[in-house]
Structure 1
Amino acid sequence: MTYRLRVADLPAAERPRERLMTYGAKSLSTAELIAILLGTGQGPGKLSAVGLGQHILQKLGEHQRDSLAVLRDVSVQELMQIPGVGVAKSTTIVAAIELGKRVLYSRPPDRTVIDDPSVAAAILSGDLMWQAQERFAVLLLDVKHRLVGTQIISVGTATETLAHPRDIFREVIRQGAVRVIVAHNHPSGNVEPSPEDIALTRQLLAGAQILNIPLLDHLILGDGHYRSLRQSTTLWQEFPQGD
Structure 2
Amino acid sequence: MNNARKQTYKDLLANTLREDANGYLIGELTTRYPNPGALIDVTEQELMSIKGIGTSKAKQIIAAVQLVKEFAAPLPEPTVVRTPNDVFSIMASELRYSPKELFVCLFLNTKNHIIAKDVISIGTLSNAIVHPREVFRAAIKRNSASIICCHNHPSGNPEPSSEDVQITKRLVSVGELIGIDVLDHIIIGGHRYISMREKGLMEIGP
Smaller-chain TM-score bracket: 0.5 to 0.7
1:110/1:148 contact within 8 Å kept: no
Give the 4+ runs in structure 1 shifted more than 6 A. none
Shift of 1:131: 1.0
What is residue 76 of structure 1 aligned with on the other side? Answer: none
2-structure distance, mates of 1:110, 1:166: 30
Q: 2:136 aligns with which of 148, 164, 169?
A: 169
Shift of 1:128: 1.1
Percent identical pairs in the alignment equals 34
Amino acid at match of 1:224: H
1:110/1:149 contact within 8 Å kept: no
2-structure distance, mates of 1:151, 1:183: 10
Q: 2:172 aligns with which of 199, 205, 227?
A: 205
3-state SS of the aligned residue for 2:143?
A: coil
Q: Mark the CA change 1:110 to 1:171 in structure 2 (over 3 Å): closer, same or farther.
A: farther
Deviations 1:146-183 (A, max 9, x none): 11111111111000112111101111111111110001
**Alignment root-mean-square deviation, CA:** 1.5
Amino acid at match of 1:192: E
Q: 1:126 aligns with which of 93, 97, 108?
A: 93
Deviations 1:180-234 (A, max 9, x none): 0001100001111000000001100100100110110000001111100000124
2-structure distance, mates of 1:162, 1:235: 18
Deviations 1:122-153 (A, max 9, x none): 11123211211000000110001111111111
- Determine if the alignment matches structure 1 residue 146 to structure 2 residue 103: no
1:130/1:224 contact within 8 Å kept: no
What is residue 135 of structure 1 aligned with on the other side? Answer: 102
1:181/1:216 contact within 8 Å kept: yes
1:115/1:145 contact within 8 Å kept: yes
2:150/2:185 contact within 8 Å kept: yes
Q: Give the number of the structure with larger relative contact order, counting CA–CA contacts within 8 Å between residues 6 or more apart.
A: 2
What is residue 196 of structure 1 aligned with on the other side? Answer: 163
Q: Which runs of 5+ in 2 are unaligned?
A: 1-75
Deviations 1:55-108 (A, max 9, x none): xxxxxxxxxxxxxxxxxxxxxxxxxxxxxxxxxxxxxxxxxxxxxxxxxxxxxx
Q: Mark the CA change 1:157 to 1:148 in structure 2 (over 3 Å): closer, same or farther.
A: same
Equivalence map 1:59-208=2 (5 Å): 111-208=78-175
2:165/2:201 contact within 8 Å kept: no
Q: Mark the CA change 1:229 to 1:110 in structure 2 (over 3 Å): closer, same or farther.
A: farther
2-structure distance, mates of 1:234, 1:158: 24
With normalisation by structure 2, the TM-score equals 0.61
1:112/1:146 contact within 8 Å kept: yes
Q: Which runs of 5+ in 1 are unaligned?
A: 1-108
With normalisation by structure 1, the TM-score equals 0.52
2:169/2:204 contact within 8 Å kept: no
State which structure, 1 or 2, has the greater radius of gyration over its C-alpha atoms. Answer: 1
Q: Mark the CA change 1:110 to 1:237 in structure 2 (over 3 Å): closer, same or farther.
A: farther
Amino acid at match of 1:233: G
1-structure distance, mates of 2:151, 2:77: 21
Number of residue pairs matched by the alignment: 131
2:121/2:129 contact within 8 Å kept: yes
Amino acid at match of 1:232: K
**Relative to total residues, which structure has the larger helix share, 1 or 2?**
1
3-state SS of the aligned residue for 1:133?
A: coil
